Amino acid sequence: MHYIPLIPLSELPENTHKSVRSDKHTIVLFHYEGTVTALGNSCIHEGGDLSQGSIQRLEDGELYIVCPWHGWQYSLKSGKAPQGYRDRQALYDVIVENGMIMVSEEPSREAFRAVHDDDPLADLRKMEYQTTKSSLNVLGISTTNMNRDLPRPSTSETALQSALDFAASEFGAATKMIRIRDLDFRHCEGYYSRHENACTWPCSISEMDPEDGMNAVYRAMVLWADAVILATPIRWGNASSLFYKMAERLNTVQNQITIHDRVLIKNKVASFIITGGQDNVQGVAGNLNAFFSDLGFTFPPFNFVGWSRGWIAEDTENNYNTFFRSRYVKRSVKELVTNTLHLVMQIKGMDVTDLHTPKPKISEAGTLSE
């Protein structure tokens, strides 16, 4: 085997590791427990820089490098992942001659990434879209929060449900409702801040935990839906915290555009229902439009229904009944759905001529006495 001199041993003190470039490869050298070993530097998962990783001793007594991106581990001596995994980082042979670290020109054991037949995320990985040329799949996403054991009436969710019912009855649409509060999922853990390539599709959290609740959103929003209608209450002038928790986990969709110019969401339409005891409907609509636009969604004209009773309406016990009686809400929700599905049909080449304006009219505002 041909060995290449890399660096003097004096430049790799005991209990350190560093990356070094050979002629062809970037290699990470380790000097631990009196031995120098060498692995490929680029993690076989998504290319994380192993030289930036930390060292851990696992239960088998061996030292492992922990990838700084998503925590994959490789034995310093063998390059193997811990027991139970077949993955392996490339391993290079090392000799130290006359104080110089020499490394085999090619790996003595090649890297190996196990392919799993029963990959629980295969549909997301392969982008198995469920839309067709004539499908009208409408996904409702409710982001209001409440005690699951003590539910309360919600203005935003009621409007969303009636939007889905109307889409089904008037357009024959297939509908699905996802209540974000029913999903158990982890917050975005900010891998992007390590490196833009560390934010992956499918999301690395989904890979770590195929049971993560966001997988239902990825499947429904990215693979199944032709249209998404998102409903949110206004909280402190913004969309709900559950919306933002979901939105941060959708970085995985947006980041594909950033790093691969790969648009996962194409020809899909988004509209919004925004309700609040107090105001900032336009601010919330602006934020939602900006975010969904960045995901790749298209918008119909007049793509949000807003409802609020204003700043001084502290009699919140009257919100729901006032909302429920509002003729404006009843009309505008239908018009929102109509405009949304007309755009879907236009995108799919179907004939659409009507345009509706789901805008408030004072004559239709619900009143306490109505």
Task: Return the residue of 27, 65, 67, 91 that touches ligand FES, per CB under 6 A.
Answer: 67
Nearer to ligand FES, 190 or 237 (CB): 190
The whole-angstrom separation of Cα 168 and Cα 138 is: 9
Beta carbon nearer to ligand FES, 181 or 195: 195
Q: Which stretch binds ligand FES (CB under 6 A): 41-49, 93-101, 337-345, 348-356?
A: 41-49
Based on CB atoms, which residue is closest to ligand FES, 72 or 185? 72
> 295 burial class (0-12, 13-18, 19+ CB within 10 angstroms)?
buried
* CA atoms of 238 and 140, how far apart (whole Å): 19
Q: Tell me: does residue 185 bind ligand FES (CB under 6 A).
A: no
| Nearest by Cα to 185 from 128, 135, 249, 235 | 249
**What residue has token string 């490929």?**
40
Q: Which of 69/304 has CB closer to ligand FES? A: 69
CA-atom Rg of the chain in angstroms? 27
Taking the complex as a whole, the smallest distance from the CB of residue 43 to ligand FES amounts, in Å, to 3
Q: Residue 324 CB, nearest distance to ligand FES (Å)?
A: 49
The CA distance from 267 to 126, in Å, is 18
The bridge status of strand 174-179 relative to strand 73-75 is unpaired
User: Quick check: 70 binds ligand FES (CB under 6 A)?
Assistant: yes
Nearer to ligand FES, 67 or 253 (CB): 67
Q: Are 139 and 224 in contact (CB under 8 A)?
A: yes
Q: Does 79 bind ligand FES (CB under 6 A)?
A: no
80 touching ligand FES, by CB under 6 A:
no
Choose one: 42-50, 112-120, 247-255, 292-300; the region binding ligand FES (CB under 6 A): 42-50
Instruction: Name the minimum Å distance from CB 64 to ligand FES.
Output: 12
CB of 84 to ligand FES, least distance (A): 16
Question: Within 10 Å of residue 268's Cβ, how many Cβ atoms?
Answer: 23
Tell me the C-alpha to C-alpha distance, in Å, between residue 241 and each of 35, 143, 232, 294, 308: 51, 8, 10, 19, 18
Q: Which of 31, 38, 46, 281 binds ligand FES (CB under 6 A)?
A: 46
User: Does 337 interact with ligand FES (rule: CB under 6 A)?
Assistant: no
CB 251 within 8 A of CB 284: no
* Rounded least distance, CB 119 to ligand FES, Å: 16
Instruction: Kindly state whether residue 49 participates in binding ligand FES, applying the rule CB under 6 A.
Output: no
**Which of 69, 185, 291, 323 is the binder for ligand FES (CB under 6 A)?**
69
Rounded Cα distance between 138 and 176, Å, is: 6
**Which residues form the interface with ligand FES (CB under 6 A)?**
43, 45-48, 67, 69-72
